[in-house]
Structure 1
């Protein structure tokens, strides 16, 4: 067979067809179409198969990207899927929402050489969707079942990745989540135009079929404390994520119409799922007909501005204290937002939210970027006397997330946390201060990406497996069966 790769010298980079901004702001459908088979094969063939694959190096999961690109270029899609899924429990999710421009694609060798990156994320999505369509994605079937049980707190990407890996090893896995659906922020925090809900629901069904037990609407600390949960399992994994919204300390922050990003996104996603959402119906969390100002510059802020446009906002502005080059969110997301009519107000910070009872304006100040701070980024400095006002009927605070007070929430004061509120772990084995209790994902590392949560969940599963086997040496007894937990 003639070589199918190294075509970057005469084949240009091509993304799947993208709907125009005016059309896509009318609905919540995904904005990209899927590659056609010949398009995916051609684009995968642009890979240079370089000796040092920086795409793989800069992927948190270290996905074997060159190999599955080569297999795709040769039309060997089932093999490509097997390679892709060997290191990633949710390739269909990462292909859609990973900031590839900051990770694999941003470090692609041919991108650095000026030929335009291989469209890795789009090809990854194509491979996995083909696998689902062809029935290649099958439930986990352990070689043998083990008696030991593992309790996982949190049904987000970290918890789900760990659950699948532990089921592969034969453990009895029970996942506890305080929400009524599986997926965490993937189901309630990320809008459909980036990740349609059927993608998560399909993966959840697969885990059900794999023998994972889910206990939904089950809150640790309310329905059972962490010490009590430990009695039911041989090991416990805390994978709750971080949900406590960071606030901005300015006058008027308590006015009606000033809302938190997650409240806004959750209301929109629940409405799309068909739930009754009184705060949306009343207009409190609905941007229709309003002048909206979103404060922040990360991926959550991008989700908010693009959601507000689709809800029919009169205008949407994103207020960010740094410039485009220093924005933490994906540049691809910024471009998509601009195409959909979002206005970015760079180098600006809120000084106050104005209004009697309900917000009517945001008083902003211009910002100058000074010398780099400890993080290496230029520190924002307020320009005195530069105040100006922006019309605002709704202000959405998208300033990031911190950890909740888990020792208090879980009724377990012995659980040690860091000065940032995250759970303190030994990063050699991901174990917390409590024997047999592990932590992974955002609750251990701080707010981060879905792909990092998946990586941490996989690592935690390995560490839990090693811990249980060491504990069980000389005995086969497990903890009390966890089926009794939901009934108590």
Structure 2
């Protein structure tokens, strides 16, 4: 079947159709249509099946991408799903939210000259088909083990670890302070990128497979780390990072200046049918307002595009560098531009203006200077360039830092790094507390969903190794 591949020489890249910007900005539905079988097969056949697959090398999960592309091109879709899901706990989610333009597709061998294979769209097609056909099964083990693990955090890292350990027969208990499992996936990412039933069907399947969720359960208030250590053979902390970074300028206390996650959570909860008084009162709604978002990452893009859909009068993004230096996905920037977002490049806030409530952002123009030690150009203000950007709602999307977990968990012995992330042995992924592991953003800092999945899968192996080794070592007599 090799003749089916290497079709990039005759077939051009075709991405899934997008709904028109004028239509999609009116709702929160996903913007990309699905490939039909013929188109998926054609686009998968463009893969060059290269000897060194840089797409796999640059995927945090090191997926066997050429293999499942070839199987898709040959119409062997169930096999493609099996290969894809063998290395990825949530392929249907990665196909939607991964910044493929910076990872697999951005490193596709044919990208220069022929345009990359549409890896993300094919992955989504494979896995949406797998769900429809009933190929996706709950993580039911062949045999049950007595080992148990307590996982703190029901985000990508925690859920990936839960699935791996449950598949091996472990008794898995997941503790989360929110009322739904999913973490950032459920409350941080808007529906137009990731519809919520994609997440809820997966967590429902995990429950069906025997994973026990303890929701609305806050460690440090409802249960302690000491109690979890007593109850389980191992404990995994995978809480993510949720503390919003702030900006030290005058006026941050004004009404109408809000953190990104506060804004996104309110919008997502409203979409889920929850009562959200702050949204209904208008405090966290962009409707009819002049919205300014500060930041240039994917969270900023989510806030900008959510504001458009909520009916904002205008939506402006302030970013202190230029477009080429934005940390977010260029695909997301392009989508935002299509939907009517105005970008103000090389612009940095100096303060927020208003009496009680924000009325504008005082900004100054910047220019790019010499590169710093990392090679990235420094930004420097242009004297006398200040002006006021009118605003009724300002959303700060400046990134996230770890919460103070030793204080939150009432576990002062838990060691953290100088950045506030949990300190772990990089080989074992264990914290300074024996049997307590950590993975995901709470260790590496704010990162991508796919890295959370990778860390969750890795730490599951380390946990299993730790418990097995402990069982084989004779215990000292008391």
TM bucket normalised to smaller: over 0.9
Tell me which residue corresponds to 1:336: 335
Indicate the residue corresponding to 2:93 in structure 1: 93
Q: Quick one: distance in 1 between partners of 2:161 and 2:368? A: 42
Distance 1:474 1:207 in 2: 33
- The residue aligned with 1:229 is 228
Q: How does 1:264-283 map to 2 (within 5 A)?
A: 264-283=263-282
Q: Does 1:11 align with 2:11?
A: yes
Spell out the pairing of 1:69-148 with structure 2 (5 A cutoff). 69-112=69-112, 114-148=113-147
1:210 pairs with 2:209: yes
2:171 is the counterpart of 1:172: yes
How far, CA to CA, are the matches of 1:426 and 1:348 in structure 2?
41
- The residue that corresponds to 1:50 in the other structure is 50
Q: Which runs of 5+ in 2 are unaligned?
A: none
Look up the match of 1:484. none
DSSP-derived class of the 2:425 partner: coil
CA distance in 2, matches of 1:361, 1:243: 26
Q: Which residue of 1 aligns with 2:441?
A: 442
Please name the residue that 1:348 is paired with: 347
- What is the CA-CA distance between 1:336 and the residue it aligns to? 0.2
1:149 aligns with 2:109: no
Q: CA deviation at 1:101?
A: 0.3
Match of 2:429 in 1: 430
Partner SS state of residue 22, structure 1: helix
What do the CA deviations read for 1:16-56 (whole angstroms, capped 9, x no partner)?
11011111000000000000000000000000000110000
TM-superposition CA deviations, 1:423-442 (whole Å, max 9, x none): 00111111111111110000
Which runs of 4 or more aligned residues in structure 1 lie more than 6 Å from their structure 2 counterparts after TM superposition? none
Distance in 1, matches of 2:471 and 2:382, equals: 63
Using the TM superposition, give the Cα deviation of residue 2 of structure 1 relative to its aligned residue in structure 2, in angstroms: 6.1
Aligned mates of 1:261, 1:20 — CA distance in 2? 26
In 2, Cα distance between equivalents of 1:109 and 1:474: 49
Offset, 1:3 = 1.6
State how 1:349-368 maps to structure 2 within 5 Å: 349-368=348-367
The 3-state SS of whatever aligns with 1:389 is strand
Equivalent residue, structure 1, for 2:370: 371
SS state at 2:455 partner? helix
What is the rounded CA distance, in whole Å, between the counterparts of 2:424 and 2:321 in structure 1? 33
Q: How far did 1:472 drift?
A: 1.6
The 2-side partners of 1:249 and 1:224 are apart by: 35
Distance in structure 1 (CA, Å) of the matches to 2:391 and 2:109:
44
Q: Deviations over 1:304-363 (max 9, x none)?
A: 000000000000000000111110000000000000000000000000110011100111
Provide the rounded CA distance (Å) in 1 between the counterparts of 2:231 and 2:326.
45
**Structure 1 counterpart of 2:461:** 462
In 1, the alpha carbon distance for the partners of 2:94 and 2:474 equals 40
Question: What is the Cα deviation at residue 382 of structure 1?
Answer: 1.2
Q: 2:130 and 2:3 mapped to 1: Cα distance? A: 24
1:178-217 paired onto structure 2 within 5 Å = 178-217=177-216
Deviations 1:168-219 (A, max 9, x none): 1111000000000010010000000000000000110111011101000000
**CA RMSD for the aligned pairs?**
1.0
Residues 232/475 of structure 1: CA separation in 2 closer, same or farther (3 Å cut): farther
Q: Secondary structure at the match of 1:355?
A: strand
Q: Number of matched residues?
A: 475
Query: Where does the alignment leave 5 or more consecutive residues of structure 1 unmatched?
Result: 477-488
Q: CA deviation at 1:144?
A: 1.5
C-alpha displacement of 1:376: 2.0
Partner of 1:3, secondary structure, is helix
| C-alpha distance in 2 between matches for 1:293 and 1:14 | 34
**1:62 corresponds to 2:67:** no
Cα distance in 2, alignment partners of residues 469 and 374 from structure 1: 44
Give the whole-Å Cα distance in 1 for the aligned partners of 2:2 and 2:183: 46
Distance 2:384 2:221 in 1: 50
For normalisation by structure 1, the TM-score amounts to 0.96
CA distance in 2, matches of 1:2, 1:180: 49
Match of 1:32 in 2: 32
Once residues 5 and 49 of structure 2 are traced to their aligned partners in structure 1, the CA distance between those partners, rounded to angstroms, is 7
Corresponding position of 2:243: 244
Separation in structure 2 between the aligned mates of residue 438 and residue 256 of structure 1, nearest angstrom: 40
CA distance in 2, matches of 1:470, 1:2: 45
Distance 2:281 2:165 in 1: 44
Which whole-Å deviations, capped at 9, do the CAs of 1:410-458 have from their partners, x for residues lacking one? 1111110011100001111111111111100000000000000000000
What TM-score do you get using the length of structure 2 for normalisation?
A: 0.98
Distance of 2:277 and 2:2 partners within structure 1: 61
Question: 1:374 deviation in Å?
Answer: 2.6
